[in-house]
Amino acid sequence: MLEQRRIVVAVTGGVAAFKAAYLVRRLIEQGAEVRTVMTQTATQFIGPATLAALSGHAPVTSLFGDDSVSPHTELAQWAEVIVVAPATTATIARLAHGISEDAVSATVVAARCPVIIAPAMHTEMWEYPATQRNVAQLAADGVIIAGPTEGVLAGGDSGAGRMVEPEEIVAAVSRALGVRDLDGVSVVVTAGGTREPIDPVRYVGNRSSGKMGNAIALDAARRGAMVTLVTTAPAPTHPNIAVLEVETAQQMAEATWEAAATAQVAVFAAAVADFRPSDVSAGKIRRAEGLPTVTFEPTPDVLKGVVEMPDGPFVVGFAAEVGSVDAAVDKAQRKGVDLLIANDVAKAGSGFGTDTNEVTLVRSDGSTESWELMSKAAVARRLWDVVVAQRLAGAS
Ligand code: CTP
Q: What is the pLDDT of residue 395?
A: 67
Q: What is the pLDDT of residue 195?
A: 97
The residue type at 321: E
pLDDT in tens, 305-326: 999 999 999 999 999 887 777 7
Dist. CA 355–CA 376, nearest whole Å: 6
Distances (CA, A) of 38 to 43, 79, 299, 326, 378: 7, 15, 57, 40, 30
**Closest ligand 1 atom, residue 273 Cα:** 8
Torsion of CA 326, 332, 335, 341, to 10 degrees: 100
Among residues 286, 354, 280, 285, the alpha carbon closest in space to that of 320 is found at 354
Domain assignments of the chain as residue spans, ordered by start = 6-177, 186-395
Residue-level length of the chain: 396
CA 258 to chain centre: 26
The verdict on the CB of residue 257 being under 6 Å from ligand 1 is no
Fold of 186-395: Rossmann fold (3.40.50)
The verdict on the CB of residue 246 being under 6 Å from ligand 1 is no
Q: What is the pLDDT of residue 322?
A: 76
Instruction: Give me the DSSP letters along 352-382.
Output: TT-SEE-EEEEETTS-EEEPPSEEHHHHHHH
Dist. CA 167–CA 148, nearest whole Å: 14
Task: Tell me, yes or no, if 134 is annotated catalytic.
Answer: no
Q: What is the pLDDT of residue 1?
A: 82
Distances (CA, A) of 81 to 89, 176, 288: 21, 8, 70
Q: What is the pLDDT of residue 65?
A: 67
Q: Which is catalytic among the residues 206, 240, 343, 357?
A: 206
Q: Name the closest-CA residue to atom 20, ligand 1.
A: 319
Q: Name the closest-CA residue to atom 19, ligand 1.
A: 319
For residue 272, report the distance from its CA to the centre of ligand 1, in Å. Answer: 6
- pLDDT in tens for each of the 396 residues of the chain? 899 999 999 999 999 999 999 999 999 999 999 999 999 999 999 999 999 999 999 999 999 866 788 999 999 999 999 999 999 999 999 999 999 999 999 999 999 999 999 999 999 999 999 999 999 999 999 999 998 988 777 777 788 899 999 999 999 999 899 889 899 999 999 999 999 999 999 999 999 999 999 999 999 999 999 999 999 999 999 999 999 999 999 999 999 999 999 999 999 999 999 999 999 999 999 999 999 999 999 999 999 999 999 999 999 999 988 777 778 899 999 999 999 999 887 787 777 878 888 999 999 988 888 888 899 999 999 999 999 998 877 765
The verdict on the CB of residue 37 being under 6 Å from ligand 1 is no
Query: Is 6-177 CATH 3.40.50.9100?
Result: no
Burial of 205 (0-12, 13-18, 19+ CB in 10 A): middle
Dist. CA 155–CA 123, nearest whole Å: 12
Task: State which of 206, 212, 303 you would mutate to test the pocket of ligand 1, scoring each by most atoms of that ligand within 8 A of its C-beta.
Answer: 303
The verdict on the CB of residue 274 being under 6 Å from ligand 1 is yes
The verdict on the CB of residue 248 being under 6 Å from ligand 1 is no
223 within 8 A of 215, measured Cβ to Cβ: no
Distances (CA, A) of 137 to 92, 106, 240: 10, 18, 35
**Closest ligand 1 atom, residue 274 Cα:** 8
pLDDT in tens, 112-155: 999 999 999 999 999 999 999 999 999 999 999 998 988 777 77
**Closest ligand 1 atom, residue 334 Cα:** 23
The verdict on the CB of residue 249 being under 6 Å from ligand 1 is yes
Q: Name the closest-CA residue to atom 23, ligand 1.
A: 331
The verdict on the CB of residue 268 being under 6 Å from ligand 1 is yes
